[in-house]
């Protein structure tokens, strides 16, 4: 069923409000129109392009500064973080991230996004991955946007457990539980051994 322009634009606005990271290509597919039509609709509605929307959301949501590693070492773009609680990053899968034979993302890129997010969420000068239990649930293709969400589950015996789930749209593609060492707990262990 073909929608009127007004109805399409109302639904487009609502869709982008609910998911500011949706691409023009995904919107074109959802509304059965061309990418050019989506771009014209966005311009008429004064909705910025995806990169600007991501930047806006990131600036609005970055309550804390990453302490455990330089921000440029995080794989993907952090768009939200609350240290020792939760964090979100997005990673666009490009040609250099996939196998040339089938266009499927190499697993180490998805792992690196999740692992660096688990490090970034730790509120300490240094955090190291002690153990990771991971599961790839679906292949990810070139052109996909992977949204990784990290959540601190608990801290125990000098370690922090971080759960990371990565999705493309509504499909879960990766899940990991990371056991993280913190610099403070490592220093404490050294002092306990030396008695200082």
Element at 177 (helix H, strand E): strand 171-182
Segment 20-32, tens digit of pLDDT: 778 888 899 889 9
Q: pLDDT > 90: what percent of the chain? A: 53
The 3-state secondary structure of 124-176, one letter per residue: CCCEEEEEEEEEECCCCECCCEEEEEEEEEEEECCEEEEEEEEEECCEEEEEE
CATH fold of 5-55, please? Answer: Arc Repressor Mutant, subunit A (1.10.10)
Q: How confident is residue 180, by pLDDT bands cut at 50, 70 and 90?
A: very high
Inform me whether the pLDDT recorded for 57 exceeds 80. no
Q: Any idea where the domains of the chain sit in the sequence?
A: 5-55, 62-188
The pLDDT tens digits of the residues spanning 91-123 come to 999 999 999 999 999 999 999 999 999 999 998
Tell me what pLDDT residue 189 has.
44
Query: What is the band of 62 on the pLDDT scale with cuts at 50, 70, 90?
Result: low
Among residues 77, 75, 73, 82, the alpha carbon closest in space to that of 96 is found at: 75
Find, among 110, 90, 93, 116, the residue nearest to 20 by Cα: 90
pTM for this predicted structure: 0.70
Whether 23 and 33 have beta carbons less than 8 Å apart is answered as no
What are the Cα distances from residue 158, in Å, to 22, 109, 182, 184, 188?
39, 28, 7, 8, 9
Contact between 63 and 113 under an 8 Å Cβ cutoff? The reply is no
- Of 3.40.640.10, 3.10.20.740, 3.50.50.60, 3.10.129.10, the CATH number of 62-188 is 3.10.129.10
């Amino acid at each position: 069923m073909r929608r009127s322009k007004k109805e399409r634009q109302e639904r487009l606005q609502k869709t982008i409000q609910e998911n500011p990271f949706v691409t023009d290509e995904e919107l074109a597919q959802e509304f059965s129109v061309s990418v050019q039509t989506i771009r014209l609709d966005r311009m008429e509605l004064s909705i910025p392009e995806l990169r600007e929307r991501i930047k806006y959301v990131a600036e609005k949501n970055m309550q804390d500064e990453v302490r455990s590693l330089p921000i440029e070492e995080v794989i993907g773009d952090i768009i939200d973080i609350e240290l020792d609680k939760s964090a979100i990053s997005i990673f666009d899968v490009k040609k250099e991230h996939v196998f040339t034979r089938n266009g499927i993302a190499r697993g180490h890129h998805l792992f690196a996004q999740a692992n660096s997010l688990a490090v970034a969420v730790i509120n300490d000068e240094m955090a190291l991955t002690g153990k990771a239990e991971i599961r790839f649930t679906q292949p990810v293709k070139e052109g996909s946007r992977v949204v990784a969400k990290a959540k601190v589950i608990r801290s125990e015996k000098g370690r922090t457990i971080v759960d990371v789930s990565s999705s493309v749209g509504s499909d879960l593609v990766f899940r990991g539980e990371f056991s993280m060492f913190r610099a403070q707990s490592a220093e404490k262990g050294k002092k306990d051994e030396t008695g200082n």
